[in-house]
């Protein structure tokens, strides 16, 4: 018997997560931590939701001394619906929000997956669970968001994503400082500023608003990244507003402008991170080479202490360090394994929040040492946390090799 070809099954032709979020009245995304996927046995407790995100689920914040809940329906791309519950625990010493019930389909292997919830109407959401690195990065890049925005809720007002405010009610000062600093780029025909110009500006702004000088390296980096995204978005809006209001005479004109914007968001995402890491290493007095060449013209993100040291067979391999950089880290981490034959242990920095035990085991077997911003360590399976390195720890590690190098000279 012939199958009717009109009904090839198994093809999801619905909208992509980024489109759905932009059409919604607000959305939320979050990397699933090891605790939340049951890796630590506390599976029943559901997802922790940051207090700033309550408004997406409830009209009023929860009251101290009370427990409250709201039923919410979550529609998934396969056509299924989950009846879930948004809960406020305010009794006793507790004060936290959680999204519970209906997530029994999640397992430990979903650690590090990205949960996306877009509000279609009050208490009704479209949900997505993104497992592949490519899907996660597309989602973040298309919306111009970064992994460290995980756990926040975003309003959509007049079709524009509303970033949660800066601290210290510094909005006015932010506006006027940027107007000054980026004046030349606001002219209609001026190009977008180079990546390193924006990255530097972000660090300067952070110093003003957050006194980042006194923070540890891990916290400092996260502030820099967040600030750069804010500046980037601020500039995008101002540079393109006049094109938008005048409309387009053809579809390809619109597609062309959109591709310019989308492709820049994409290419800047990883590059900004590398620039900030380079600035961090420089400020810590650590010598390095970025985009150096190794065997077969491979280009590791960072080599320590230098390209010359790596190329010099007399320089002891034990004093070389490799650092790969990936904004997210799910299925493509193996790419770094062949990028520097002289350095068997590969360090890998990522903003990925949570990785499954199975992947962590594979990485350990491949001699990959993860470098993770300290505030994200708690999102990893408990038994693996002590094997994670912080940025501070990594810089100390490289410094200790540097001092060996001094002795060696």
* Contacts with a copy of itself, residue ranges (CB under 8 A): 1-3, 5-11, 13, 15-16, 18-19, 22-23, 142, 156, 158-161, 194-196, 200, 236-237, 240-241, 244-263, 267, 271, 274-275, 278-279, 281-282, 287-291, 299
Q: Closer to a copy of itself at the Cβ: 86 or 139?
A: 139
The Cα–Cα gap between 409 and 259 comes to 51
Nearest to 362 by CA among 334, 339, 326, 396: 334
Nearest approach in angstroms of CB 112 to a copy of itself is: 21
Q: Closer to a copy of itself at the Cβ: 93 or 246?
A: 246
Q: Closer to a copy of itself at the Cβ: 179 or 258?
A: 258
Parallel/antiparallel/unpaired status of strands 289-290 and 67-75 = unpaired
Nearest approach in angstroms of CB 289 to a copy of itself is: 6
Q: Closer to a copy of itself at the Cβ: 24 or 33?
A: 24
Burial of 192 (0-12, 13-18, 19+ CB in 10 A): middle
389: DSSP letter: B
Token couple for 207: 């110093």
Write the CA distances from 93 to 49, 67, 179, integer angstroms. 17, 12, 45
The Cα–Cα gap between 372 and 319 comes to 22
Q: Closer to a copy of itself at the Cβ: 185 or 240?
A: 240
* Cβ contacts of 378 within 8 Å, gap of 6 or more: 33, 385
Q: Closer to a copy of itself at the Cβ: 240 or 397?
A: 240
Token couple for 323: 């650092």
Q: Which helix (H) or strand (E) holds 275?
A: helix 251-283
The one catalytic residue among 54, 310, 376, 397: 310
Nearest approach in angstroms of CB 393 to a copy of itself is: 21
Do you know the residue count of the chain?
Answer: 409
Partnered with residue 67 across adjacent β-strands are: 89
Nearest approach in angstroms of CB 292 to a copy of itself is: 9
Q: What are the phi and psi torsion angles at 319 (to 5°)?
A: -100, 5
Nearest approach in angstroms of CB 9 to a copy of itself is: 5
* Cβ contacts of 140 within 8 Å, gap of 6 or more: 146, 147, 149, 269, 327, 328
**Residue recorded with tokens 């990028």:** 339
Report the chain's terminal Cα–Cα distance, integer Å.
79
Nearest approach in angstroms of CB 328 to a copy of itself is: 16
Q: Closer to a copy of itself at the Cβ: 22 or 215?
A: 22
Whether 310 is a known active-site residue: answer: yes
Parallel/antiparallel/unpaired status of strands 47-49 and 96-100 = antiparallel
The Cα–Cα gap between 299 and 348 comes to 14
Nearest approach in angstroms of CB 339 to a copy of itself is: 13
Look at the alpha carbons of 208, 213, 214, 220 in this order and tell me if their dihedral is positive or negative: positive
Q: Which residues are catalytic?
A: 310
């Amino acid at each position: 018997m012939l199958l009717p070809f009109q009904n090839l099954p198994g093809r999801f032709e619905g909208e992509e997560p980024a489109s759905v979020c932009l059409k919604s009245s607000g959305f939320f995304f979050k990397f699933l931590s090891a605790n939340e996927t049951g890796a630590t046995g506390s599976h029943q407790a559901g997802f922790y939701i940051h207090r700033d995100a309550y408004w997406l689920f409830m009209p009023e914040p929860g009251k101290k001394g009370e427990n409250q809940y709201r039923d919410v329906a979550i529609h998934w791309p396969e056509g299924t619906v989950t009846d879930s519950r948004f809960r406020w625990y305010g009794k006793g010493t507790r004060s936290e929000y959680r999204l519970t019930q209906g997530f029994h389909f999640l397992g430990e292997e979903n650690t590090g997956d990205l949960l996306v919830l877009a509000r279609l109407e009050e208490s009704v959401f479209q949900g997505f669970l993104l497992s592949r690195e490519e899907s996660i990065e597309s989602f973040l890049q298309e919306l111009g968001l970064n992994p460290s925005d995980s756990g926040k809720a975003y309003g959509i007002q007049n079709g524009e994503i509303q970033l949660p405010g800066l601290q210290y009610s510094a909005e006015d000062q932010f506006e006027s400082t940027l107007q000054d600093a980026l004046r030349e780029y606001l002219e209609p025909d001026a190009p977008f500023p180079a990546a390193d110009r924006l990255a530097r500006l972000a660090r300067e702004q952070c110093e003003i608003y957050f006194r980042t000088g006194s923070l540890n390296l891990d916290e400092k980096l996260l502030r820099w990244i967040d600030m750069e995204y804010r500046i980037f978005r601020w500039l995008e809006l101002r540079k393109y507003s006049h094109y938008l209001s005048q409309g387009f005479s053809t579809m390809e004109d619109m597609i062309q402008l959109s591709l310019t914007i989308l492709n820049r968001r994409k290419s800047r995402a990883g590059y900004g991170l590398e620039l900030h890491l380079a600035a961090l290493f420089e400020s810590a007095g650590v010598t390095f080479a970025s985009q150096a060449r190794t065997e077969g013209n491979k280009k590791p993100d960072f080599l320590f202490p230098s390209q010359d040291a790596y190329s010099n067979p007399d320089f002891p391999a034990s004093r070389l360090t490799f650092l790969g950089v990936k904004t997210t880290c799910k299925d493509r981490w193996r790419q770094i394994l062949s990028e520097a034959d002289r350095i068997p242990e590969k360090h890998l920095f990522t903003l990925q929040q949570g990785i499954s035990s199975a992947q962590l085991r594979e990485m350990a077997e491949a001699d990959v040492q993860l470098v993770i911003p300290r505030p994200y360590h708690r999102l990893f399976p408990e038994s693996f946390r002590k094997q994670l390195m912080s940025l501070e720890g990594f810089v100390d590690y490289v410094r200790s090799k540097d001092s060996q190098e001094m002795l060696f000279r």
